[in-house]
Structures are given as C-alpha cells and as structure tokens.
Structure 1
Amino acid sequence: MNEILQISDTFIEQNTVFLELVNELKKMFSCNEIIVPMRHHHDFPNPELKSDSTLLLMPAWNPSKNAGVKIVTVSPENGQFNMPSIQGTYIYLDAIKGSIKAILEAKSLTVKRTAAASALASSFLSRKDSKSLLMIGTGALSVNLIKAHASVRAIEKVYVWGRNYEKAIRICDQLKGENYISVPVKNIEDKISEVDIISSATLSPKPLVLGKYLKEGQHVDLVGAYKKDTREADDEAVKKSSIYVDTYQGGLKESGDILIPLQRGILKEEEVKADLFELCTDKKEGRVSSSEITFFKSVGHALEDLTAANYYYKKYTNE
C-alpha cells in the first residue's frame, strides 16, 4: 500500500503562486471534465456559543485521473478561541483505484483556491486598468484575496477595513513587502467610492457594501455571506450591477447575496449574466464597458478544491 502523503498548511502557504493557481482554475473550468455533485450543506446548532455552525461536504471526480472530497466546518464564533472560522481536511484520491493519495489541511487550501477564483473572475470582470482595491474583512481570506487580485491586475494601492482596526493594521503590516501600498481605514465609506475593486470576505449578518456608494466602472467581489439569510451587499448594489456567479449550481441557491434579491423580485435568474464555466469557455462575455459595475458572488465549488489539491500534490511530489 502506498504511503498517504500529509500536505500541511505550511507547505501550501509556502508554495502558492497565485497566477499559476488562477491559470489552473481557468483550465479546469474550461475543460468540462470534472464531475461535481451538489455539495452537502448542513447547519447545526452550537448552543454553548448561541450560534449555528456549518458542515460542508464537497466531492469531485476527474474520471480516471483524480478525485477528492473536502470536509469543512464553518464556526463564526471561533475568533474568541483565536482560531479561523474555517476548519477542515481534504482527502485526495486516485480516481482509478479509489485509494487515498494525500490528505491536505483544508484551511489554507480553501482560502487559496477561493482567492484564486475571485482573481479569475476579476480577470474577466474588473477593468484592465484597475489600480486600487478596498478589502473589507480581516480574516484568513483577506491577505490571500489581496495577493490574488494583485496577480491579475496592476494594483498600486490597497485599503483594508475590519471591525477591529488593529487587525486591519496587522494585515497591512503583513503586506509591507509587496509592490503596492497598504493602508488601514476606519470607515468603509471613506474609500468605497474611490477604488476600482471592492473585495468583501466577512461573516457580517447585514450588508456592508451599499449601492449608494458604488460608482461607474467598479468591480465588486463577494466571498462571505455563505448562508441563505446573510448578505454582504444590499439591494441597491444588485440593481446597479451586472451580476455574475462562480457557478449557477451553488450561486443561485446558497447565499443571501443572490437568493434574497431573487426572492424579493429585485433580481431574476435570467438576469445573472454568466458563471465561471461560461466565462472561461468564452460562451458568455464579462465586462462590456468601462462604465459598467460588475458584481461577482462566490460560494465555492468542489472543482476549485480538486484543482487546488492536484496543484499542491504535483508541487509536493515534483511531478
């Protein structure tokens, strides 16, 4: 029996080149080879903390090549334990034999592939001359989203907002060696109207990206609000924007950012312009004008996990 490799968060952190991962995702969204059933999404009570947690099971197969499943929990109150809200494991399989090839720590894998998917969307949806970014949120995704967006656009200035200003300062400190200036801000409204790209990754129960502040030509990237009753952008933001999702399968059903406007009649399903499959295969186009506001909602997809697991497995084994 072959040894099961253990691929740690440390290895993933040290061996990620975002533009490489973005290109791998683009290739796999284009190839139509990976089979992805609807993920299991189970909310379960956590009475001790008076807040629900979520269990996600995300399988995917590339027949006769590779397969895998991610098991993830999301616990919004983990900050009080000084732990990320996302915890999990990825089991990477030989799709022919069914044997386990590797077990990857899913925290870093998830944030890396999520950030890379947002950057992939940005390559179609943000203006090519985008130079500034507002990062809303200071969790594990924030640094990764900033670096990923900067891999596809020539970002010069980054503003970081978080409910805890000290955390925003620490995020900016982590980015001091990058090719852009990072500045913490105390109020979203101070910069939201000025930047080219707005990226939001929070567990906020109410919208933080308000349409009244959006201006022509911006790109809005939303990766938080993973539940049906939560959202990061309000109705006005939806009304002013061209709407895109990572996949129709999850994007139209799992997050309040899309589901609530659909239920209210603010948005119709046919008004959602495209998903990443259609963008990557050129079946549909992304941004069509410099004045358009584009709005991308990501809920995550098992294709992204399998692609990332394969990417890190190859790096680990020097294949």
Structure 2
Amino acid sequence: MTLVLTASTLESLASMTETITAVERGFGDIARGTALQPGPLSLHLPSSEARYLLMAGLAESQGLAAVKLLSDIPANHHEGLPTQRSSILLADRRTGETLALLDGRVPTRIRTAAASAVASRFLARPDSSTLGLVGAGALAIAHVEALMAVLPIRKVVMWSRSASTLAAFKAGTAHHQIEVVRASSVQQVVEEADVLCTLTPSVEPLVRGEWFRPGLHVNAVGARPRPTHREIDSEGMRRSRVFVDSMPTAIEKSGDLMMAVAEGVITIDDVEGELGGVIAGDVTGRESEDDITLFNSVGIGMLDLAIGRLLYDAAVLHGLGTSIDMSR
C-alpha cells in the first residue's frame, strides 16, 4: 500500500529537534558512504524559464530510496500561484515498494531550516547569540526555531520588503523568548549578526562581502536552484571559507558559487568541502574565532529522504494519510 500525505497532514508530524537529528545523520551517512547522493537532474526547455529538478537519495540506515520532483516556475507569480511546487516519493530500499507520496512544501521548509541549524552547530561560533535574517517568510520562521535549538540565540535582526510578511513573522515567532528587531537595511542585518541566513529568491546579490565582520557564519539558502541566481556577491564568497551540502549539486544549482567562479574571484578548488565531511571529521570546519564561514545550502535529495522517513513513520504510527493500492 502507498500512503498519500497532504501538506495539512504533514504540518505537525515531526519536531524540529527530531528533524535536525535526522538531517545531521543524513549528511554524515553521505560522508561515510552508507548513503548515495547523486547530482540533480535539471530539465528545462528554451521556450520557458521553468525548471524541473529531480533530486534523489538512497540510504542504508533509513532503508529508503527517495526522489523529489521540484518544479520551479517563476511565471506562476503573475498568476497568483506558488512559484515552487514539489512532491516526494519514498520507496522501500529492500523490496522497491512505493511506501508514500508526500506533498513537498512542509518537508522542504523544515529540512531546509534543519540543514542551516546543523551547519551552524558545526561552523558558527558556539556563543553566537544574534541571528540575522534577510527575508521574513515561512522559511524565516522555521529558521528561528531551528537555530534556537542549536545556539544561544537571544536576538533576531530581520529585513523584508513586505510589511505583511514582517507582521506574519512577528506573529509566528511571538512565543519565543527573543528580542526581534526590524532592520532598516540588509547591511544592518549583516553587520549585527553572529549567524546570517539569507532566505530570498533573489536574482541579484542582496548581501555584500564588504559588510562581513570577523567571526560571522552565513547560511546562504534562498536563491532559486539555478546557476545564474544568487544572494551573496563574489566578494562575500571570496572572504568566506565555503562549505556545501553536495559538490555536484552546488555546481549544477548554485549561483552564489558558480557566478563567483565565472567572475574569476574563486575557483571550485577553493571550496573547503561538504558539510557531511565536517560532521564525519574528515573536513576541518571553523579554525578560529575570526573565521568567516559560509554554508551554501542548495538542497539535496538525501535531506528529503531523511525528513520523509520521519514523517512517514509518524503518519503510520498515528494512522494518518490515505492508503492506496497502486498495484490495482
């Protein structure tokens, strides 16, 4: 039987703490060779800006093969539709049975924030207390919860162009015991942050490396999955010790990285390594208090597999979702 899980069903099935643990384990499994993380397949036609990405993963300990179809369609914005939609398919690694089909919106949001938390746990200064957010949507709210789970965050400085988004952010984070400050500019956010998360679908860089101060950790998260869109300028990439979630994926999808390479400011060899290698102890993370570290988070199928395992098991435990016999 295949379990179909809608967005509303998935909303509260996994805690952020559980997700962070699962994501950290997933990154480590890739480095240890007990999980396979291939590069993504990006499909597009010259007649449209739309891209369709296939993101896959295979894991021994979770007992799953998984694939997500991510549709990235900028033109949907003009129709009042989501610009990104996705679905995740989970299959039993041993038997090949299709176990579940999940709407991708909730899992992607949660696992993306959890990935930033894992990167911050291993790369940020342990005493980091001020979180800077460029962008204040649902992903920003998830990042507050995730970062508070791994660092002593007491203050959030955030920026957004939208007053309604800022109001929703304040409402969504009101239960946390933190000071929230609305910044007048992106520069203010960068200069005040100990940990900076960039969470916008930006085409041109909003964040400039000249604003980085010693000791900063950056999670570059929001740019669309294409090598011509970025949030961080080339100077920011040059000044940082850069880590990625997956090297083949970053080369295919990361404008932050590939545009800096194209401009001759850095090379691919300047990337320190994958986050999984830091977790496994094979790659050196932060070396000093003054290091500027940057995690280029472009999204990998193994993280969809990790959160998919959590959500599927919780749904089965609580009797949620709709079961369908796909073989009939």
Normalization by structure 2: what TM-score?
A: 0.89
What is the identity, as a one-letter code, of the residue corresponding to 2:39?
Answer: M
**What number of residue pairs does the alignment pair up?**
313
Q: Which position in structure 2 is the counterpart of 1:261?
A: 260
Q: Which residue of 2 aligns with 1:73?
A: 71
What TM-score does the superposition give when structure 1 sets the normalisation length?
0.91
User: Which of 129, 135, 138 matches 1:137?
Assistant: 135
Does structure 1 retain, via aligned residues, the 8 Å contact 2:5–2:101?
yes
Of stretches 259-268 and 215-224 in structure 1, the one that deviates more from structure 2 is: 259-268
Q: Check 1:190–1:26 CA distance in 2 against 1; reply closer, same or farther (3 A cut).
A: closer
- Residue in 1 aligned with 2:57? 60
**Structure 1 residue 301 displacement after superposition:** 0.7
Contact preservation (8 Å) 1:58, 1:69: yes
Q: Contact 1:58/1:71 (CA < 8 Å) preserved in 2? A: yes
Q: Deviations over 1:64-118 (max 9, x none)?
A: 9211211111223444555443211111112222221111110111111111111
Gaps of 5+ in 1: none
Paired residues for 1:128-277 under 5 Å? 128-225=126-223, 226-277=225-276
The residue that corresponds to 2:321 in the other structure is: none
Identity of aligned residues (%): 28
Q: Is the 8 A contact 1:141 1:201 kept in 2?
A: yes
Q: Separation in 1 of the partners of 2:145 and 2:12?
A: 14
- What SS does structure 1 have at the residue aligned with 2:298? coil
- In structure 2, distance between residues paired with 1:16 and 1:184: 30
Distance 1:143 1:86 in 2: 18
Change in 2 beyond 3 A, CA 1:84/1:127: farther
- Counterpart for residue 115 of structure 2: 117
Structure of higher RCO (CA pairs closer than 8 Å, 6+ residues apart):
2
Q: 1:83 to 1:181 in 2, by over 3 A?
A: farther
Tell me the secondary structure at the aligned position of residue 262 of structure 1.
helix
Q: Which amino acid aligns with 2:37?
A: V
Shift of 1:44: 4.3
SS at match of 1:14: coil
Q: CA deviation at 1:123?
A: 0.7
Distance 1:180 1:16, change over 3 A: farther
Indicate if the aligned counterparts of 2:131 and 2:155 stay in contact, CA closer than 8 A. Answer: yes
Contact 1:44 / 1:55 at 8 angstroms: preserved in 2?
no
Across the aligned residues of Structure 1 and Structure 2, the Cα RMSD in angstroms comes to 2.0
Flag structure 2 segments of 5+ consecutive residues without an equivalent: 319-328
Give the corresponding residue for 2:95. 97
